[in-house]
Amino acid sequence: MACTEKVRGFDIGTGANCIYPLLGASLLGWSFVGSDVTKIALEWARKNVQSNPHLSELIEIRNACVPSSSGKIENDVVRGEEAPEGSTHNPNMWSGCCSELPVLVGVIKDGEKFDFCMCNPPFFESVEEAGLNPKTSCGGTFEEMVFPGGEQAFITRIIDDSLQLKHSFRWFTSMVGRKANLKFLVSKLHEVGVSVVKTTEFVQGHTARWGLAWSFLTPAKKFIASQTPKRSHNSFMLEGLQRQVGAFQVLKSVESFFLAAGASCKSDLSSFCVNVTLSEHAGELQKNDSDTSEITSSHAIESNNFQHALKGLPFRISVFQQVPGTVLVRASSLDKESSSGSFFVFFQQLEDALKAQFLKPNTKN
């Protein structure tokens, strides 16, 4: 994969919240396919993506119940639902027990490549088991939480599929809920001859989980790490904003910041973003800067050399209200070829400027 290409992930069992693709796309600009098998999860995951139109190009929700070769995108057969009349005779549609449902093989399309897959698997073998642990932090429906054989069987399915899809994913990863299962799965991975196995532990309050990752590629190939300097997205949070300051005010300040640098700006207030291009005359305009707003007078882009590096480079700044008092500011290059280091230098300047304008001194870090 070329260094300029974006990271692409596959979230197995993305759930109704579709949380990992939404986070990965909004914070890192990664693209995702999120799969699931229940009607409710698929419907709500799609709704959640549609409610974030700025991310919808980055996230595809896929029904794992329908074989990828069918080419169908909006599917009819889902787990926990009766198949529509006549569908059992349709060879393109799955019908069977949930333990036979496709996980990766049959869901991944021919020739598709991903940097990684991830999974927060259904943890329990039965409803009874799901209800046994009063300390569990999991809440969910039967279909979300239960899989015959529990997480060990589910992740074993991913391992089996990974043997057939060695070249489609750089990394296969999954969350594991029980340490005993982690040991079993690590042995299984060594047995099948993967090149690398990595584990880690996540602890939050009383709940411990483990991360398991494996790859069939040689360890020397650090694909994702090697892309980091070339990534084309960056973001930062403004936290601790005063009540009256929201995404709109921040967006207006972003616009002022770039106008003061002589850039041309096209704002889209409905999707809270501004497209910016530094013109050929950016440096001259800055010298004649007559804008008196606080942000432009003290924090406009300073170096003509630096502006030169960015001339003609189109990029988009998006501002997202997270919760009251917190907004996320994200920059993405609109030119896939030119995600240069200068792009991130200017973004750091924007961050400093916005923090200086909106945050009290003790909340700026």
Ligand X SMILES: C[S@@+](CC[C@H](N)C(=O)[O-])C[C@H]1O[C@@H](n2cnc3c(N)ncnc32)[C@H](O)[C@@H]1O
- What region, left, alpha or beta, does residue 15 occupy, with left being phi > 0 and alpha being psi -120 to 50 degrees? left
| C-beta closer to ligand X: residue 41 or 251 | 41
**Do 158 and 188 form a contact (C-beta atoms < 8 A)?**
no
Q: According to CB under 6 A, which residues from 48 to 87 bind ligand X?
A: 64
User: b/e per residue, 103-113, with b = 16+ CB within 10 A?
Assistant: bbbbbbeeeee
Least Å distance between CB 41 and ligand X?
4
Please name which of 185, 117, 129, 127 lies closest in space to residue 153, comparing C-alpha atoms: 185
| C-beta closer to ligand X: residue 140 or 246 | 140
* Segments in 203-340 forming alpha helices (H): 223-227, 247-260, 282-287, 294-299, 304-310
Of the candidate residues 58, 75, 143, 286, the single one contacting ligand X (CB under 6 A) = 143
**Residue 254 near ligand X by CB under 6 A:** no
Nearest-angstrom CA–CA distance, 239 and 254: 16
| C-beta closer to ligand X: residue 79 or 355 | 79
**Residue 161 near ligand X by CB under 6 A:** no
**Residue 13 near ligand X by CB under 6 A:** yes
**Residue 17 near ligand X by CB under 6 A:** yes
| Residue closest to ligand X, measured at CB | 13
**Residue 12 near ligand X by CB under 6 A:** yes
* Segments in the chain forming alpha helices (H): 19-28, 39-50, 127-132, 142-145, 150-164, 179-192, 223-227, 247-260, 282-287, 294-299, 304-310, 341-358
Q: According to CB under 6 A, which residues from 20 to 39 bind ligand X?
A: 35-38
Of the candidate residues 61, 103, 213, 245, the single one contacting ligand X (CB under 6 A) = 103
**How many chain residues interact with ligand X (CB under 6 A)?**
20
Of the candidate residues 144, 161, 255, 351, the single one contacting ligand X (CB under 6 A) = 144
Please name which of 14, 67, 22 lies closest in space to residue 40, comparing C-alpha atoms: 14
List residues near ligand X by CB under 6 A: 12-15, 17, 19, 35-38, 41, 64, 101, 103, 120, 122, 140, 143-145
